[in-house]
Structure 1
Amino acid sequence: MSGAARWLLLSDLHLGVTDRDPRYPGRMLTGFLRREVLAASGPRQHVAFVGDTFELVGCSGDGSVARLESIRARHPGTFQALEECAARGVQLHFVCGNHDVELARPSVAARLAALLSPAEPARVQVHPWFLHVPRVLVAEHGHQHHALHRIPDILRAAVNGTDGLDLPPLAAWNADQSRSRLGRAGAVAQACLASERAERRVREPAYAELLQAESFRLGLDGVAVRDLARLSRFRTVSALPVAATRMALAAAGRSAAGGKAPAAAVRVARTLEAHGAGVAWYLSGHTHRALELSLGACATRYVNTGTWCSDVRGRGPDQSDRRVFPYAVVDVAPDGGTSGGLRYWRSDAG
């Protein structure tokens, strides 16, 4: 990448077919886009949604498109503002999260692009795994490093266009809450088996070909991409005890994650550095805890973009003030240098 640019990154809006969230993330995003993006001048702008932008869990291919249409009907102002951004030349990026992994399906990604930029669909890019800007940043939702949310063979849907997206275990538990606890436990057991099978598939030669295709899109060496794909793995015997611990801590009103960067962020940064592809910034969401800090010995700085929904779990100002929303800025200078970090936007600011 060359030339100056400004990246604005946010995550976890969880836009659905209703608008009942007390923080009204869709309405707030409309104001943010109009004041911080459409009213801005300067270098080329990129707006990146780092996962869980939409609630699409459990939908088939056609069902995901229909759900997307319903979300658009419920949030017309939001979609209009995004369409205006694309029309102004702003590049829109959508990284798949565990709640909207269905965007990885080519038919769903194409429909999203048609809704937001009918004249120039290329203004809307969907990133099934992660977003990579050479030497600048890597942005991924983070669920692929959390076993109960992990979808091991996501590229089967994105590259091959298959409709075969298995629900990860935690999504299987939450998919049908009208079922008995025993029925939901059975769904989790089936999802665990499906995840184990998927982990075996990603170690077969056919998946290596998908990783190679993905390496071209990411602009990374194929060996580096394979090494990144090996950083996390689902294993039932370790995932379930971790889940039980998290549930016990939650019941006791305690958090399993403090003010530390996830271990996966360090592993990703070090892997990229080992392949001569280090980046200045690593960004993720998923935990709903806005956070910025260094990654120790790595040159990479970590930012978690938090959430715009009411399920705030961090200790930032957004915890006590519903008018405050976290996002990240990464400014790229003409010489390739970067600056930025975690920011908070106030909906009532002048």
Structure 2
Amino acid sequence: MNLGRGTRWLLVSDLHLDVTDDDPRNPGRVLPGFLHREVPAAPGMQQHLVFVGDTFELTGLSENESLARLDSIFERHPATLRALEACVARGVQLHFVCGNHDVELARPSVAARLAALLAPDDPTRVRVHPWLLYVPSVLMAEHGHLHHALHRIPEVLRTAVNGTDGLDLPPLAAWHAHPTRSRLSRAGAVAQACLASERAERRVRGPAYDELLQTESQRLALNGTAVRELARLSRFRTVSALPLTATRMVLAATGRNISGGQAPAAAARVAGILEAHGSEVAWYISAHTHRALESRLEGSPTRYINTGTWSSDVRGQGPDQLDRQVFPYALIDVADDGGTSGGLRYWHPDAG
């Protein structure tokens, strides 16, 4: 992969494409127009299009179910499939960072199916990143759910290796996985998910997972100690997660959500770890919260971007809240000398 010189990076997130098309913002219908206009043929420039997680709705599915669902999603959104195929034909490199709603992409078979659908002639043009995407000195992108206890899936790298382990549902997903069950039954599922998460956290800090992290550091070309520190930066703890889960349930029942208008605390810690190991980046990009945001990180040269959502579940205070036909994305240009420019942008289908 070109490590950033003379390149353009476009990043979007949280489309939540599903087998239905009932989202009022219609992200599956809007995306092809965005790709046609914002990712044109650009001879001499290497273009990268990054989906920063929750691109698809695959939560809690088995391997075979995930494969079938992925096929069905593109059958429901054929224009999106054609637009992504056209990007590949123009030489664009596609990247899919796993989120909590499409962590099943980490399974090798599901990643291979995605590549076969979008780039049958050259599957290497489609890359799935189970955890994060790192471009030295330029950017680091991760979905962000691993810093949120209620959605944290600690052992995602194990899934990328053997395709089956590591996908225990986190507490909040366990609650929503069976909406027809009684509250008592769903509470029991949350309790089991908490126990599974606690066990997973212990394994993530053990020698066996260290081997996976070492392999990941080689794939990322990122300092091994930095990778271990990033993997252990956040941690699920039942004693703090259960009250937060209860709060989220109450807010959801009343049609509200937890507010927030600044970079998450984890963002500054991520930037600090990278800087401490000589692996600093100009931009740290995450998603997950559905709040589009750009801000500086205190005490760091790294700028933070949250790419928001293209779904109707907008939670920020930006123009995409006021006009639901405004869609956020991040644009990062890298000059030949390595300097970067760009930031959070908003796209409107009717704009000139």
Distance in 2 of aligned mates of 1:254 and 1:165: 28
Secondary structure of 1:335's counterpart equals: coil
Let me know the Cα RMSD of the aligned residues. Answer: 1.5
Aligned position for 2:134: 132
Shift of 1:106: 0.4
Between the aligned partners of 2:139 and 2:5, the Cα distance in structure 1 is 15
CA separation in 2, counterparts of 1:66 and 1:250?
Answer: 30
Q: How does 1:127-206 map to 2 (within 5 A)?
A: 127-206=129-208
Cα deviations by residue, 1:239-296 (Å, 9 ceiling, x for unpaired): 1122334445566776534211000100000000000000000001100000000001
- Residues 181 and 251 from structure 1, CA distance in 2 versus in 1: closer, same or farther, beyond 3 angstroms? closer
In terms of mean alpha carbon deviation, does 95-104 or 245-254 score higher?
A: 245-254
Matches of 1:2 and 1:195 in 2, distance apart? 36
Secondary structure of 1:64's aligned partner? helix
Unaligned residue ranges in structure 2 (runs of 5+) = none
1:60/1:163 contact within 8 Å kept: no
What code does the residue aligned with 1:301 have? R
Distance 1:166 1:249 in 2: 25
- Give the superposition deviation at 1:322: 1.7
Match of 1:83 in 2: 85
> Could you say which residue in structure 1 is the equivalent of 2:239?
237
Whole-Å separation in 2 of the counterparts to 1:208 and 1:163: 16
* 8 Å contact kept, 2:136–2:281: yes
The answer to which of 164-173 and 25-34 deviates more is 164-173
2:328 corresponding residue in structure 1:
326
Select which of 100, 115, 118 maps to 2:117: 115
**Aligned pairs, number:** 350
Partners of 1:150 and 1:295 lie apart in 2 by 23
Q: Secondary structure at the match of 1:309?
A: coil
Q: Which residue of 2 aligns with 1:343?
A: 345
SS at match of 2:39: helix
Q: Does 1:211 align with 2:213?
A: yes
Q: Which secondary structure state, in structure 2, belongs to the residue aligned with residue 311 of structure 1?
A: coil
Question: For the Cα contact (< 8 Å) 1:61–1:163, is it kept in 2?
Answer: no
Map of 1:278 onto structure 2 = 280
**Cα drift, residue 169 of structure 1:** 0.9
State the partner residue of 2:312: 310
Matched, 1:297 2:299: yes
What secondary structure sits across from 1:148 in the alignment?
A: coil
Q: Aligned partner of 1:327: which letter?
A: Y
Task: Confirm or deny: 8 A CA contact 1:169 1:189 kept in the other structure.
Answer: yes
Deviation at 1:166, TM superposition (A): 0.7
Could you tell me which residue of structure 1 aligns to residue 56 of structure 2? Answer: 54
Deviation of the 1:181 alpha carbon = 1.1
Shift of 1:344: 0.2
Q: CA deviation at 1:43?
A: 1.7
State yes or no: 1:105 paired with 2:125.
Answer: no
Partner AA of 1:241 in structure 2: P
Post-superposition shift, 1:162? 2.8
1:16 is aligned to 18
Residues in 2 aligned to 1:2 and 1:340: alpha-carbon distance in whole angstroms: 14
Can you list the C-alpha shifts for 1:294-329, whole angstroms capped at 9, x where unaligned? 001101000000000000000111112121000000
Q: Which amino acid aligns with 1:105?
A: R
Cα deviation per residue 1:64-119 (whole Å; 9 max; x = unaligned)?
A: 10100010100010011001101211000000000000000000000000000011
TM-score scaled by structure 2? 0.96
Give the letter for the 1:116 counterpart: L
SS at match of 1:93: strand
With over 3 angstroms needed to count, the CA separation of the structure-2 counterparts of 1:48 and 1:281, relative to structure 1, is same
